[in-house]
Amino acid sequence: MPSHRYSDVYHKVSVPLTQRQWPANRITAAPLWVPVDLRDGNQALAEPMDPDRKRRFFELMVAMGYKEIEVGYPSASQTDFDFVRLIGTAGLAPEDVTIVVFTPARRDLIERTVASVAGLTNDVVIHMYTATAPVWRDVVLGRSRAEVAELIRDAGRDILELAGDRANIRFEFSPEVFMLTEPDYVLEVCDSMTTLWDATPRRPVILNLPATVEVATPNVYADQIEYMHRNLSRRDSVILSVHPHNDRGTGVACAELAVLAGAQRVEGCVFGNGERTGNVDIATLALNLHAQGVDPMIDFSDIDAIRRTVEYCTRMPVPERHPYVGDLVYTAFSGTHQDAIKKGFAEHRDRATRLHRSEREIPWQVPYLPIDPADVGRSYDAVIRVNSQSGKGGIAYLLHTEYDLDLPRRLQIDFAHHVQRHTDDTGAEVTAATLLALLTATYSPASSRIRLLDSIVRKEQLHLTLDVDGRPTEYRIPVATPAESLASLLTESGTDIEVLAVTRHPRPDGSTVAYLEYRTAGNTRWAIGFGDTAATAAVAAIVAAAELAVPEQHPVDVH
């Protein structure tokens, strides 16, 4: 690959910062989130949102708790202009939600933008932008540093003239391509805007510093943000904002480090939609905070409903491995992961019991799951799924959660071999229903040699009537040792079964399952029986073992 064509940009974007403070900082509170899905995200769609989709998206973001929402680019299209007007005429925005509108630094477009928010009683932010980086100045704008600075100030004066007397309107400036702009120049331009707009603590100016195109590692962006944070004039009258894109795939890291470096506000899209590789993903940022014990101040408790709305509005699917919201992000196929998760869930339940608290009240400490899926409205049904990469832990977990079957460990190991053969043959994922069918076919087949005709308990004895090779036979065995006693009696019919262990447990439907470990013809095997009582379940396990004693008659087929 022709890597020599690309110069190292680090030296171009580095800032004169030596004793940086951001590496030692910690995020202890959520920044102000500003979703730009209706503007920046909408511009990046092959089919921009129609009015119905824009309204549904806006109402979703209000319901999630966003307090500042960028709603459009009113000078770019009639659709955007009309939607901004609709917010006011239809009363779509609660009083505590600030509406942001976006405009280039050009008077006619500013006039159109100001007209779109006429009559809005909510707080409004007019967001003006101009590219400031050298390549953009030279190639796109064809202006010098001084000329671009004057262009920005002229547009700032236009905004003051057209909207400066409205108490509910504040101002935002973005030096587009901030991360490639000379530090001294961008500082000069930003300071000139806070002076022009007379930024005060009561009416602060938003300075938004975008990583319009990611060109360096996140630590470089953090240095740039900290440099601005420490050197801006009127700092107490500035809301320092960032708008990272994701060209290098590190937009989330850039935003997190920028907050450590002094940013107070983050612009992005709910699931990271945006030009090229997208804007920063607010869901990931917010739930990263949640996973660290910090309230994200945005409600993702029904993340699948949010995803469905976003997918409808954007006509774009959310990938299965997308952090926190993807279909498979809480799912383990790997055997080692499944075993750890299974044990983690069991320990979590036990800890809740010991503390006499609900499982939702105690600290979350389950391997491989950074947050409880229930926090975002997910059930545990798909946490473990079985394929050819899975092991006994995942198999046992599915059988327990779906069918209340607690397989003994040695049976788990034995059954895992059967499942492995099945998945190798089919190459497909195995559902819980397929696992149950395979389990019963392997360890509890319908018997052709021995059938239980009747059973009743009388005076600590189990009275059985069995059909053994076509001959009805009555047996009386102790209720306390039904498996051992029946196995001994069946030796008379030529069935060699030595009981090694019997494990039984009740099921929620009132039935009992018995797991029988036995030896026959020198081999250790397993059988399973189901019954209304512990005794009849053990008898059923012995009957299954007797049937399995002639294995060639019982090929396992669950296809």
Q: For residue 152, which of 165, 136, 166, 167 has the smallest C-alpha distance?
A: 136
Per-residue pLDDT band for 552 (boundaries 50, 70, 90) equals very low
In the block, which residue shows the tokens 């101002």? Answer: 171
Residue 274 is predicted with a pLDDT of: 93
Distances, alpha carbon 22 to alpha carbons 220, 226, 235, 281, 324, in Å: 11, 7, 17, 21, 26
Q: Which CATH architecture has domain 450-553?
A: 2-Layer Sandwich (3.30)
- The mean-pLDDT minimum among 135-149, 251-265, 359-373, 386-400 falls in 386-400
Per-residue pLDDT band for 54 (boundaries 50, 70, 90) equals very high
- The mean-pLDDT minimum among 117-126, 155-164, 388-397 falls in 388-397
Strand-pair partners of 175 = 130
Residue 7 is predicted with a pLDDT of: 76
In the block, which residue shows the tokens 């090694």? Answer: 500
Across residues 344-358, what is the average pLDDT?
A: 94
Per-residue pLDDT band for 194 (boundaries 50, 70, 90) equals very high
Across residues 52-57, what is the average pLDDT?
A: 96
| CATH classification number, 335-443, choose in 3.20.20.70, 1.10.20.10, 3.30.390.10, 1.10.287.1400 | 1.10.287.1400
Q: Which amino acid is at 447?
A: S
Residue 389 is predicted with a pLDDT of: 60
Confidence check: pLDDT of 559 > 60? no
Q: Which amino acid is at 248?
A: R
Confidence check: pLDDT of 557 > 60? no
Across residues 516-536, what is the average pLDDT?
A: 88
Across residues 252-281, what is the average pLDDT?
A: 97
Across residues 362-371, what is the average pLDDT?
A: 93
Confidence check: pLDDT of 556 > 70? no
- For helices 534-548 and 482-490, the axis angle rounded to 10 degrees is 30
What is the spatial distance between Cα 446 and Cα 223, in angstroms, rounded to a whole number? 71
For the ranges 179-193, 371-385, 500-514, 526-540, the maximum mean pLDDT occurs at: 179-193
Domain ranges, ordered by start, for the chain: 9-314, 335-443, 450-553
Asked whether the beta carbons of 26 and 232 are under 8 A apart, the reply is no
Alpha helical stretches, state H, 142-236 = 145-163, 183-196, 218-231
Instruction: Enter the tokens of residue 430.
Output: 């195995």
Distances, alpha carbon 21 to alpha carbons 24, 27, 78, 219, 444, in Å: 6, 13, 46, 12, 66
- Answer yes or no: same fold for 335-443 and 450-553: no
Across residues 452-477, what is the average pLDDT?
A: 77
Asked whether the beta carbons of 543 and 529 are under 8 A apart, the reply is yes
What is the spatial distance between Cα 21 and Cα 262, in angstroms, rounded to a whole number? 10
What is the spatial distance between Cα 418 and Cα 434, in angstroms, rounded to a whole number? 12
Confidence check: pLDDT of 357 > 90? yes
294-330 pLDDT per residue, tens? 999 999 999 999 999 999 999 999 998 999 999 888 8
Residue 387 is predicted with a pLDDT of: 56
Residue 137 is predicted with a pLDDT of: 96
409-461 pLDDT per residue, tens? 889 888 888 888 888 788 777 888 999 999 999 999 877 677 777 777 776 77
Name which residue leads in pLDDT, 242 or 9. 242
Superfamily of domain 9-314: Aldolase class I (3.20.20.70)
Confidence check: pLDDT of 497 > 90? no
In the block, which residue shows the tokens 């630094």? Answer: 105
For residue 166, how many other CB atoms are within 10 A of its CB? 14
The length of the chain, given as a count of residues: 559
Q: For residue 276, which of 213, 211, 216 has the smallest C-alpha distance?
A: 213
Instruction: Measure CA 210 to chain center.
Output: 26
Across residues 490-511, what is the average pLDDT?
A: 83
Asked whether the beta carbons of 262 and 229 are under 8 A apart, the reply is yes
Asked whether the beta carbons of 280 and 251 are under 8 A apart, the reply is yes
Residue 476 is predicted with a pLDDT of: 81
Residue 413 is predicted with a pLDDT of: 83
Residue 11 is predicted with a pLDDT of: 66
- The residues near 371 (Cβ < 8 Å, ≥ 6 apart) are 287, 290, 291, 324, 364
Across residues 488-516, what is the average pLDDT?
A: 85
The CA-CA-CA angle for residues 135, 137, 143, to 5°, reads 140
What is the spatial distance between Cα 404 and Cα 205, in angstroms, rounded to a whole number? 60
195-225 pLDDT per residue, tens? 999 999 999 999 999 999 999 999 999 999 9
Using the CB atoms, write b or e for 174-187: b if 16+ within 10 Å.
Answer: bbbbbbbbebebbb
What is the spatial distance between Cα 448 and Cα 453, in angstroms, rounded to a whole number? 13
- The residues near 447 (Cβ < 8 Å, ≥ 6 apart) are 543, 544, 546, 547
The CA-CA-CA angle for residues 496, 551, 524, to 5°, reads 55
Residue 554 is predicted with a pLDDT of: 46
What is the spatial distance between Cα 48 and Cα 30, in angstroms, rounded to a whole number? 30
Per-residue pLDDT band for 76 (boundaries 50, 70, 90) equals very high
